[in-house]
Amino acid sequence: MTAADTGAPSRVLDGVTWTSGALAVGCALLAVGHLGVDVPLLSNLGPGGTRPVIPAAIAFTGAGVAHGLVGLGAARRRSWAWPLGVLISAATLLGAAMPFRGVMSAVGIVLAGIQLGLLVTRDGRELLRHEA
């Protein structure tokens, strides 16, 4: 019997949903911060302060939307959530690692690594293989 057969809420799906939500919120905050808006604490952690970096703001907006979709898809057990989740978590992991920019990159690496790790487990693949 697999986790998909039990009918009980899966910790794997919960983990994917929560990490997706955290990554979506983090990306949204970073998008706002990269628009040049002074966000307390966040602006002090970033390398540019309140200097706008529009390409980064666009990238963080896209990543935030994608992570939000993965969280929604995982919560609703949609089959498209698995490939999108693997793709966006791998892209986030690589983007946060190269170039590494300190605390914010480390948080992104940890969250994206957890999400990717959950998605590639047997339960992660099986739970999102077929729509509920």
Q: For tokens 């905050």, name the residue.
A: 29
- Pair of tokens at residue 59: 């990238």
pLDDT tens digit sequence for 68-92: 999 999 999 898 999 999 999 999 9
6 — pLDDT class (breaks 50, 70, 90): low
Q: Which residues contact 11 (CB under 8 A, 6 or more apart)?
A: none
Of residues 54, 89, 85, 56, the one with CA closest to residue 69: 85
Position 52, amino acid: P
39 — pLDDT class (breaks 50, 70, 90): confident
Other CB atoms closer than 10 Å to residue 10's CB: what's the count?
Answer: 22
- What pTM does this model have? 0.84
Peptide bond into 99 cis (omega under 30): yes
